[in-house]
């Protein structure tokens, strides 16, 4: 953090002695007023007597009898400043206050934690990289352990958010750095909570889960391992662009180049993944700028294998968002065919555009739709060989990266999300051609959003059948799952929590009346005359 009172830093406007600018006289006057007795021959005395350099005729010495070496050394006098430092606060005092400020914003839950943190950093541009990292890491630690920290904080006094900041700072930065800046009351409180046995706290509190979420996870096997993994920061997974790079070559390049400090290793399952430690500023790497690599969790990479798009096909990424999965699908299609990237959020699609540009893909058609049943969706009824629904979901599988989600979601939002997922899945399924596949995916661990949705879909869509994900993955990776669904867990697979189900539209399926009517209407509206009689141009979709 920028601190004007730091030793060695010159306050704004202070210049080196002997520079001879107009401020020298005033500075000398100030010095004489403040310095008291000036030691004869000292640097201060020389500074006070020095003429501004510009006023000295060329070649004339400042003091008769001075050698040129003495004059030269006079130009290198130590910095003397009129700055009177305020009593300095210890760095940790400032840090705790910064963390408290950010937490107070985040805990309103009005916006996602990552946007609040970035916004706060933009408002404090003088913070250095390390300052930012410390603030962000502690804020995220507090979000991960909020319920436990709140319970332990109850026995303290004063500002409750500060007590959260203290617990987070101790966990991330160490008690030896934090304790020296605490007051007696805070130290006594810390000593009291240190006596509490961790196991005496309920599992809900220990794992810092809200009740609605705990109730839904509690019957999962190895619950403590799961919750502990969800409360641990994730590594950074990146993916090579198969159109432009080879994973092994990229790995070698990173190991000897800009990735060396982040211990890059191949991800265990995805053929395109590389895992990095820490938080590299990867968006400044030339490999990123040239579209050779992208950030993508290994679980998301595996989804593309389940979709399995081929060259020349028509494929729809129904909830494309910022295009993470679209990019890999497009590359697997070798930039041929047509890949529609639908989303109701034009803002998210706009964020995808620079990624599409970097990737070098030319087969992607981004389309901002009004809702899942938009006319532009209905025009594609029965046309697509592959449709991916990466559905909006609770995001419980991504708590390692987005710990605020567990506090920002609720039972009510979960119910709204599941209703939306059902509707999106039904609409998207209409786009699937007979014999084509629909992949439904979430980054959730919750049965309501996963298995229950898959079963409901199958019950309501007898023209679709479930395809086992296990052999598809076994043929391309060394990931062996039970099937028929893909369920990934951070504690077992080292990825975010993911779910995917594959449905195939029976070859014998005939388009439902409503679907054929939609096509006929569109044809009679003279949108026809392209492949399969329905024209969906890049412009009009």
Q: What is the contact surface with ligand SAM in residues (CB under 6 A)?
A: 300, 318-325, 342-345, 348, 371-372, 390, 392, 420, 424
To the nearest 10°, the Cα dihedral for 184, 189, 194, 198? -160
Is the separation of the CB atoms in 236 and 293 below 8 Å? no
Q: Does residue 266 sit in helix, strand or coil?
A: strand
Q: Does residue 190 sit in helix, strand or coil?
A: helix
Least distance (Å) between residue 322 CB and ligand SAM: 5
Least distance (Å) between residue 539 CB and ligand SAM: 20
Angle at 403 between CA 301 and CA 305, to 5 degrees: 10
Closer residue to ligand SAM in complex, CB, 44/326: 326
Least distance (Å) between residue 348 CB and ligand SAM: 5
Least distance (Å) between residue 363 CB and ligand SAM: 17
Closer residue to ligand SAM in complex, CB, 18/299: 299
Closer residue to ligand SAM in complex, CB, 135/405: 405
Task: Count CB atoms within 10 A of the CB of residue 431.
Answer: 26
Residue 384: in which H helix or E strand, if any?
Answer: strand 384-390
Least distance (Å) between residue 91 CB and ligand SAM: 38
| Residue 360 CA neighbour count, 13 Å, CB half | 16
Q: Does residue 431 sit in helix, strand or coil?
A: coil
Partner residues linked to 276 by β-bridges: 236
Residue 271: in which H helix or E strand, if any?
Answer: none
Q: Which of 319, 393, 431, 443 is an active site residue?
A: 443
Partner residues linked to 390 by β-bridges: 441
Closer residue to ligand SAM in complex, CB, 369/481: 369
Q: Report CA-CA distances (Å) from 502 to 19, 308, 388, 426.
A: 75, 11, 9, 14
Strands 314-317 vs 384-390: parallel, antiparallel or unpaired: parallel
Least distance (Å) between residue 165 CB and ligand SAM: 31
Q: 339: closest CA among 230, 207, 470, 243?
A: 243
Residue 293: in which H helix or E strand, if any?
Answer: strand 293-295
Q: Does residue 275 sit in helix, strand or coil?
A: strand
Contacts of 284 (CB under 8 A, 6+ apart): none
Closer residue to ligand SAM in complex, CB, 207/427: 427
Least distance (Å) between residue 276 CB and ligand SAM: 19
Is the separation of the CB atoms in 81 and 30 below 8 Å? no
Least distance (Å) between residue 318 CB and ligand SAM: 6
**DSSP 8-state secondary structure symbol assigned to residue 525:** I
Closer residue to ligand SAM in complex, CB, 136/328: 328
Closer residue to ligand SAM in complex, CB, 264/392: 392
- Does the annotation mark 319 as catalytic? no
For CA atoms 301, 303, 306, 310, give the dihedral sign.
negative
Closer residue to ligand SAM in complex, CB, 167/442: 442
* Residue 434 phi, psi dihedral angles, 5° rounding: -55, 135
Is the separation of the CB atoms in 436 and 268 below 8 Å? no
| Residue 157 CA neighbour count, 13 Å, CB half | 6
Q: Which residues are catalytic?
A: 443
């Amino acid at each position: 953090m920028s601190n004007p009172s730091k030793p060695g830093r010159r306050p704004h406007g202070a210049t080196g002695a002997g520079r001879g600018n107009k401020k020298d006289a005033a500075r000398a006057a100030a010095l004489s007023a403040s310095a008291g007795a000036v030691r004869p021959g000292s640097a201060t005395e020389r500074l006070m007597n020095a003429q501004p350099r510009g006023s000295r005729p060329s070649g004339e010495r400042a003091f008769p009898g001075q050698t040129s070496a003495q004059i030269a050394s006079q130009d290198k006098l130590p910095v003397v400043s009129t700055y009177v430092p305020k009593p300095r606060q210890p760095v940790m005092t400032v840090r705790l206050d910064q963390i408290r400020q950010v937490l107070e914003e985040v805990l309103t839950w009005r916006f996602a934690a990552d946007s609040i943190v970035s916004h706060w950093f933009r408002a404090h541009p003088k913070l250095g990289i390390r300052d930012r990292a410390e603030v962000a890491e502690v804020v995220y630690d507090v979000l991960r352990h909020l319920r436990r920290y709140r319970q332990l904080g109850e026995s303290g006094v004063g500002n409750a958010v500060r007590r959260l900041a203290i617990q987070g700072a101790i966990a991330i930065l160490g008690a030896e750095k934090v304790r020296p800046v605490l007051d007696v009351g805070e130290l006594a409180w810390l000593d009291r909570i240190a006596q509490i046995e961790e196991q005496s706290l309920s599992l809900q509190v220990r794992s810092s889960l809200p009740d609605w979420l705990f109730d839904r996870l509690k019957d999962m096997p190895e619950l403590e391992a799961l919750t502990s993994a969800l409360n641990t920061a994730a590594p950074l997974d990146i993916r090579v662009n198969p159109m432009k790079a080879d994973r092994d070559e990229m790995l070698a390049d990173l190991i000897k180049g800009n990735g060396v400090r982040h211990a890059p290793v191949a991800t265990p399952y995805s053929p395109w993944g590389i895992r990095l430690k820490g938080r590299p500023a990867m968006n400044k790497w030339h490999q990123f700028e040239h579209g050779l690599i992208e950030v993508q969790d290994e679980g998301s990479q595996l989804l593309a294998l389940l979709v399995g798009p081929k060259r020349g096909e028509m494929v729809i990424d129904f909830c494309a968002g910022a295009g993470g999965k679209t990019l890999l699908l497009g590359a697997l299609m070798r930039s041929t065919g047509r890949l529609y990237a639908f989303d109701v959020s034009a803002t998210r699609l706009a964020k995808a555009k620079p990624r599409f540009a970097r990737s070098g893909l030319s087969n992607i058609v981004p389309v901002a739709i009004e809702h899942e049943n938009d006319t532009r969706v209905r025009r594609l009824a029965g046309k697509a060989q592959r449709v991916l629904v990466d559905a909006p979901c609770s995001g419980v599988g991504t708590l390692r990266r987005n710990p605020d989600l567990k506090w920002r979601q609720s039972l009510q939002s979960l119910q709204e999300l599941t209703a939306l997922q059902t509707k999106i899945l039904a609409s998207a399924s209409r786009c699937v051609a007979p014999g084509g596949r629909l992949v439904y995916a979430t980054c959730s661990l919750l049965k309501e959003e996963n298995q229950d949705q898959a079963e409901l879909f199958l019950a309501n869509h007898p023209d679709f059948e479930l395809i086992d994900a296990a052999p598809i993955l076994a043929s391309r990776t060394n990931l062996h799952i039970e099937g028929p669904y893909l369920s990934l867990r951070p504690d077992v697979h080292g990825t975010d929590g993911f779910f995917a189900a594959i449905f195939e539209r029976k070859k014998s399926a005939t388009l439902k009346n409503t679907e054929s009517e939609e096509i006929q209407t569109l044809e009679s509206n003279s949108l026809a005359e392209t492949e399969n009689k329905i024209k969906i141009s890049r412009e009009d979709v």
